[in-house]
Amino acid sequence: MMYWDTSAVVKLYAREQDSGYFLNLIAGTDEQVVTSAIASMELFCALERKERSGDIKPGGAGTAFDQFLNDIRRGRIIEIPYGHYVIQEARKLIEPVSRRRILIRTLDMIHIASAVAVKATWVVATDSRLRQVASLANLKLFPD
């Protein structure tokens, strides 16, 4: 199973320099995009920021976010709820993260703990700190 961090999910809904790579990763496959439920709010905010900065045309953030919600309804994207099992996995990860002095953000820890909780094998992400923690959790990384 491939777990997608918001740093990669956003590339599916807003054109970025490397969006093609991530779109090709899911093209022609029935594999679902699995991510945390927190990704929807992170994506919403990222799209709105892109619209305000002119990277997305006016009204484009809402259109892109509606497509994301449609993909959830269609089952193309599966959201992992934040709950006690995610907290348990985060608690296991915090010691090795602290020992290596990785400055992990709270939401990034939720993403990695969610990936571990659902027994993902891969993490699709571009965020460098999140990728460090994913490696500590013995998750394989895309892109490699």
Which tens digit of pLDDT belongs to each residue from 127-137? 998 999 999 99
Give the model confidence (pLDDT) of 2-48 as tens digits. 999 999 999 999 999 999 999 999 887 888 899 999 999 999 999 99
What are the tokens at 136? 């500590």
What are the tokens at 119? 């027994």
Which residues of 62-143 form beta strands (DSSP E)? Answer: 77-80, 122-124, 140-142
Across the strands, what pairs with 3? Answer: 34, 123
The CATH class for the domain spanning 2-142 reads alpha beta
Question: Domain map of the chain by residue range?
Answer: 2-142
Give the residue among 48, 106, 119, 20 at the shortest CA–CA distance from 133. Answer: 106
What are the tokens at 85? 């099992």
The pLDDT of residue 54 is 97
Predicted model pTM:
0.92
